[in-house]
A and B are shown apart, each in its own frame.
Chain A
Amino acid sequence: MADDDAPLMIDLAGPQGRALLRVRPPESLLSKPVEFEVPPLSGNAAADQLVAISTQVIFTTAANERDGWLEWHVKIYRCATVGDADTLRQHLHRQAGALQHVNNFLPGQRGMAFKPPWAVVPVQVVRGDGRPEELAGAVTTRLGVPSDQIVAQLRRHLPPWLGDKTQPDCVLLAVSPRIDPMNWEADHHGDPHPATENLSMFETLAAGLDLLHQQEWAHCDIKPDNVCRYTYFPENLPPMSEYALIDTDAATRTTPPPRALRSSELYDYRALRDLRLGRVAGPPRAGHLYAQDRFGLMLMVLCALAGREWVEQLALAPDATDPAGGRIADDEEKMLRALAALWPDPRWEPLVRALAEPFGTGPGGSLALERQDPWAAEWLQRLVRAEAECTEVRTPVEPSPVRTPEAPPVAVRAVDRVRQETRAHPAGKPQLVRRAYEVIDEVAGDLAESQARLAMWLWGGGLTGAGLLIALNAFVIGR
Chain B
Amino acid sequence: MIWEEMLRRRVEERCGDPGEAFAPYGYRFGKWLDADPATRADRDVVQVRDAVAGYLGGAVREGRLVGTVVGVGLGTAGALIVFLLVWAVA
Contact = CB atoms under 8 A, between A and B. Distances in A.
Interface class of chain A by DSSP: helix
Interface string B48-90: 0111111111111111101110111011101111110111001
Bin chain A's interface residue count: 35 or more
Contacts of B29: 197, 433, 436
Given A437-B19, A467-B78, A472-B86, A411 B27 contact: no
A30 interface: no
B62 to A, nearest CB: 5
A451 B56 contact: no
A238 interface: yes
Contact of B59 (A188, A436, A447, A472): A447
A399 B46 contact: yes
Contacts of A399: 43, 46-47, 50
B46 A415 contact: no
Interface string A187-227: 01001111011111000000000000000000000000000
A34 interface: no
Interface stretch (A243-251, A327-335, A455-463): A455-463
**B contact patch SS:** helix
B51 A238 contact: no
B6 to A, nearest CB: 10
B48 to A, nearest CB: 9
Interface string A358-394: 0000000000000000000000000000010011001
A460 B74 contact: yes
A159 interface: no
Contacts of B83: 467-468, 470-471
Given A198-B27, A411-B57, A416 B33 contact: no
A347 interface: yes
A451 B86 contact: no
A418 interface: yes
Interface stretch (A16-24, A86-94, A290-298, A402-410): A402-410
A48 interface: no
Contact of A445 (B23, B25, B59, B82): B59
11 contacts: A196-B27, A347-B24, A396-B47, A407-B50, A414-B53, A437-B18, A440-B18, A458-B71, A463-B78, A468-B86, A479-B90
Counting from the closest, the 3 A-B pairs by CB-CB distance are: A467-B79, A463-B75, A455-B67
Interface of B: 3-4, 7-8, 10-12, 15, 17-19, 22-30, 32-34, 36-37, 43, 46-47, 49-64, 66-68, 70-72, 74-76, 78-83, 85-87, 90
